[in-house]
Structures are given as structure tokens and as C-alpha cells.
Structure 1
Amino acid sequence: MTDRDTDNSDILDLLPRLSHADAGVRRIALIELADLEDPEGLPWLTDALASDDAAEVRAEAARLLEAWEEPEVVQALCAALADGAEPVRLAAAQSLSELKSLEAGRLILPWVNHADAFVRSSALRALRELRLEEAASPALLALDDPEAPVRREAVGILGWLRHEPALPELARLASDDPDTEVRRAATGALGLARDAHVLPALHAALRDDAWQVREEAATTLGKVGLGEAGPALVRALEDDYWQVRLRAARALGRLRHRPALGELAALLGHGIANLRKEAALALGELGDGAALPALHAAEADGDPEVRKAVRIALAQLQGAA
């Protein structure tokens, strides 16, 4: 541990333990140092992260630095993404993802070009929720990264930024990427704009081999809110996976797609309560009195959440009438 000048008596009291031969003693001393919440203690934390011999101490330092956004802390955490020990890398990535300032994001930005895929993906993950406009260009480039985790995080950035110029590339990934999670993320990101040009890609995603992608496609079609999606969503009510059916029912309700009334009413008899609940709520949103007989029949459903959804739907229909 590097010696540094300080006149803070609390920090001075910790110095012998911060340089103790026992890694466990050093780790506990770091925790006590962080509890002081004194910026004067940061150099000891960043030194421990960069140079302590024990991975457990470096990982602890990375965790303890998550509340600080000083430039030296951000740089130390970014450098730790390339640490030789996985617990240290993971802790640094998590702490970086907690940062909130755009200034911190600008310090992270150069790391998206690092040679190591974990560093690239972690840097992109940290940038995602900051909504830093400067991150759009490197994220677009990262859509062609050979590593799936990097592509997935790049998709997340473009979705959070609602970066409409990325829509063609996102549509390509939603249809063609070999990784299920990338296709799923890209499918979700297509909901960033109410744009009919994304419908072909979303309709294709509704036929994806992976049910998780089909589920995301149904959700996104509801968010995009274009009535042309109705027929494809009705077909999705017959999907082999109830999770896809549930999202399709929810989307049809949001779209108020009345031609789906018969199929939604049929789902009130499904064996899975969550699906019956979503079907009831969707029927209420349709605003069509023709759903009243099916909803009244479902008032005695054995699941209390379904009965509650039926009451909500009946109230909506009665209000519409």
C-alpha cells in the first residue's frame, strides 16, 4: 500500500491494518475506510484495487468504490476490468454500472475499444443508462463486434438513447444474429420508435425458433402500437409457449384489436391463471360489449387475481357503454 500524507486521525489509525500482511485484515480495514465516506481515503482504495496482492482485497476495493464518481476512481475501475481475477473484473463492472454522471461516462467511453471483449461489454453496459449521446457512434460500430455480449450491450445503449438511425441495423440483428439474447435485445430495441418499417422484422421475430425472442416481439409490437400488427399477434395466441401467448394478449389489448375478441375470450378457460388474467384485461381494453358474456362467466374463476382482472374489465366495458 502506497504511503500518502494525511492528517485525518481516523485514516491514520487504519494505516497499520491497511498494510498488514494478512489479506483478511487489509480487506476489513478497507471496509472501515470506506465507511468513513471521506474523499481523503480514496487513494488507499484505488491503490488497493490496482496493486494489492490478494484478489479478494482488490475485489472488495472495487465494490467499495461504487459510490464515488471522481475521475481517478472511474479510471481505476475501468483498468480493473482487465484484472486477471474474475471476481475483481465482475466487481469493477458492477460498480461502473452504478455510475450516474455524464462526466464519468465520458471517461468510460474510450474503453469500449479495448482489445478484451469483457472490457468492451462492461464499458458499454456502464454507459447504457447514462444516455450519453456520444456513445451512439461507438455503439453502432459495436453492433458488428465478433462477441455476442458486446453486441448485446451495444443494442442496449441504442435502445436507451432511442437512436432512430440504428433501426435498420437493429432490424438486421433481430432477424439474423446467431445469438438468442442479441436477437431478443434487438427485437426489444425496435420499439424505440413508432415506425412501420420495423414491422417486418418484428413479424419475423414472432416466428423465431427461440420462444424468448417471440415473447419480446409480441411485447414490442404492443409498444410500437400499430394496428397492422393485429393479425400476427392473433396468430401468436396459439404459440406453444404460454409466455408468448400472454404477451400477445397484452399487446392486442393495448392495440384494441377487436377482431381478437373470440381468441381472447377462449383464453379465459386456459389452465394457466396468468394467461387468463391477461386475456381478461385485454378484453376490457377492447371496449367491445360482445365480451361481456365471457367475462361474466369468468367471474367465478378459482384464482383471485383473475377475478380481480375480470372485475376491472367489466368496469371498463360498463364505463364505455
Structure 2
Amino acid sequence: MTNPFTEANSLRARLADPDAEVRRVAVLDLPYSDDDDYIELLTAALADEAASVRAEAAHALEGVEEEEVVSALVPMLKDTDSAVREAVAKTLAELKEPRWGHLLLGMANDTEASVQAAALRALRALKVDAAYEPALSASTSADASVRREAVGVLAYLRKATALPTLTRIATQDAEADVRKVAVGALGFAEQANVQEVVPALEAALQDSAWLVREEAAHTLGKLKLVSAAGKLAEAMNDDYWQVRVASARALGKMKALDALHVLVDALAHTVSNLRKEAAVALGELGDARAVPALEVAANDPDPDVRKLSRIALGRLVAAQNA
């Protein structure tokens, strides 16, 4: 039987070994050891001279939300080694307690883009009100990764005052992935100010990047913006089936009866994912005129299309008999 005291002593000896690889493996073993001080030992390993050890220690501390740990990790966003910085950023992004916000806010204005982006990413889920102004400022950064993370913070804080900034980014940012994130962020708009975002979302349906168009359809469906049903019906002819799928889903959520014909046409599309989504949407519309097309789709070669078409038919029959 292994003596836990001997095992712990051996592990500590390995943490002090001259060979960096031995120390790195010891760090890997620490969380699974019987050493009650493993968090303290991992925190100490963050100062190891070898970048590989520091990175492994940062990974191992993911999920540990203690003052000493977080205080040691935050300055390491400026570590000289990129792998260490990435490991630290990943661990900090898993923080859940808002009380860590004060440690990260200073980094949110850092002059180094990678540091600023990592700090904003960590602040996002913390929903710290004090992060609003730094995020608003960072939304105009020359660095796309910083702008993207800034949008994430603004989306999580859900402040109506950020909507003009988000609509601008959604339609004007030079990078498609930043526009996409901004389009998704517009989904937090409340009923009182939802009309502010309609023009931007409709414009995003015409974006040059299909991922942005797809996200616009998702967001319009989430907000159930019936006024945009016509634009979504047009998007059912998009060159990318992914955009058509998102548009069909949105039209179903809106119960957009005027889109009946485009959804019926989609039941015959070559892409089964689109046929499935069209069947679901037609069931949500509840229009008996869809019955003949759904009866055909109930014999579709794809089993999922058959199943969803039959469910949709069941809904329509139940609605007629109610």
C-alpha cells in the first residue's frame, strides 16, 4: 500500500527537480494527489522559470476561485511566453464570481491588445457594471479580437445604451466575425427598444458573409420580429442552406403565415436539414394549407424529416379539431 506521506514528499521533490519536464509532470499530478496544499503548490508553480511549467500550472488552476490564485494569474496575462498567456486567459475566462472584476478592470484598458482582449473575455461572464465603460471604449479598438471581446461584455451587461454601438458594429465593422458577434448581441433588446435594432438586423441579412446572415436570422427569430418576416422569406433563397435553415426556424417562431409558400418549397430542398426545419416551421404556423406538402414529406427518404413532418401533421389536425 502506498504511503500518502511518502507520495506527497516524492511529488514535492519532483516539483523542485532541476529538469523542467519532471516539474511539469509533477504539476499535472498535483490535483490528483493527497497533498492538502496542492493549490498553494500550483500557485507557486506559476512563478516557475520554465514556461511549460507555468502554462501547466495555469491550466491546472482552472475552476479555482481563491484570492491568492486569481491575484497571481491576472498579471500573467503579460507573461513573456505566448503559451502561458493563452493558458492564463483560458483559466481566467472560467471565473464566475463578480468579486474578481476589480482585479481585471485595469487590464481591460491595457495597451497590449492580447492582454486587453483576455481581460475583457474574463470580465464578460462576471457581468460587472464597472466593465461597461472599458468595453464601450474597447469597441473602437484597431484590434479585431479586442472589439469582439468588447461586444461580448456589452452583450452580457444588456444595457440599452449600448444598442447604438452594437448596431454600428453589426453593420459597419470590417471583420465578419466581429459583425456576427454584434448581430447576436442585439438579441438582448427589450420590447421598448427593439425597433432600434430592426434596420441593423435586416441589413445583416444582406451581409457579404453568410455567417453574419445566419446569425441575423437567428436573432430575428429570437426577438420574433414579425415586421422582418418578408426579409426572412427572401432569405429562404440564400445561396447558403445554413442561412435558409435559420430563416425557416425564425419564420416558424414568428408564425409568419405569409411565408407559407417558401416553407412548403423548402420541404423539397436537397438538404435534409432544411427539409426538417421547414417541417417544424409549418407545424408552428398551424396553417391547414400545408397539409398536402407535409403528407408528401411524411414519406421523405430521411427518417428525421418523416418524423418531424408527421409531428407537424399531428399538430395541424389537432388544431383543426380543437
Residue in 2 that maps onto 1:35 = 32
> What is the deviation of 1:238?
0.5
Residue 22 of structure 1 pairs with residue 19 of structure 2: yes
Distance, in Å, in 2 between the alignment partners of 1:302 and 1:285 is 23
Contact 1:159–1:189 at 8 Å: present in 2 too? yes
Q: Which residue of 2 aligns with 1:278?
A: 277
What are the superposed Cα offsets for residues 102-133 of structure 1, whole Å, 9 maximum, x if unpaired? 11233222211112111111111112122222
More displaced, 25-34 or 165-174? 25-34
Distance across 2 between alignment mates of 1:150 and 1:56: 26
Distance in 2 of aligned mates of 1:37 and 1:211: 52
Equivalent residues in 2 for 1:52-131, closer than 5 Å:
52-131=48-127
Aligned equivalents of 2:266 and 2:174: distance in 1?
33
Aligned AA for 1:127? L
CA RMSD of aligned residues (A): 1.7
Mapped to 2, the partners of 1:60 and 1:238 lie a distance apart of 49
Distance 1:39 1:174, change over 3 A: farther
Alignment of 1:188-207 (within 5 A): 188-193=184-189, 194=191, 195-207=194-206
Q: Find the aligned partners of 1:141 and 1:222 in 2 and give their Cα distance.
A: 30
- Conserved 8 A contact 2:95-2:125: no
Q: Which amino acid aligns with 1:303?
A: D
Offset, 1:38: 5.9
Paired AA for residue 20 in structure 2: A
Local SS of the residue matching 2:61 = helix
Aligned length: 313
Deviations 1:33-90 (A, max 9, x none): 333476634343223213x222211110111111211122112222222222222111
- Aligned-pair CA distance for 1:277: 0.4
The residue type paired with residue 104 of structure 2 is: I
Separation of aligned partners in 2, 1:40 and 1:134: 34
Correspondence 1:259 to 2:258: yes
The 8 Å contact of residues 210 and 243 in structure 2, kept in 1 or not, is answered as yes
1:208 corresponds to: 207
Letter in 2 for 1:233: L
Unaligned runs of 5+ in 1: 1-7
- Residue pairs, 1:107-186, within 5 angstroms: 107-186=103-182
Deviation at 1:272, TM superposition (A): 0.3
1:314 shift after superposition = 1.0
Decide which moves more: 101-110 or 113-122.
Answer: 101-110
Bigger CA drift: 56-65 or 34-43? 34-43
Distance verdict in 2 for CA 1:286–1:92, change over 3 Å: same
Looking at structure 2, the residues matched to 63 and 306 of structure 1 have their Cα atoms a distance apart, in angstroms, of 43
Determine the C-alpha separation between the residues in 2 that align with 1:140 and 1:226: 27
Provide the identity percentage: 51
C-alpha distance in structure 2 between counterparts of 1:35 and 1:164, whole Å = 46
Deviation at 1:17, TM superposition (A): 1.6
Q: Aligned equivalents of 2:184 and 2:161: distance in 1?
A: 16
- How far has the Cα of 1:312 moved from its partner? 1.7
CA distance in 2, matches of 1:154, 1:316: 43
Q: Match for residue 216 of structure 2?
A: 217
- Structure 2 unmatched runs, 5+: none
Deviates more, 1:311-320 or 1:39-48: 39-48
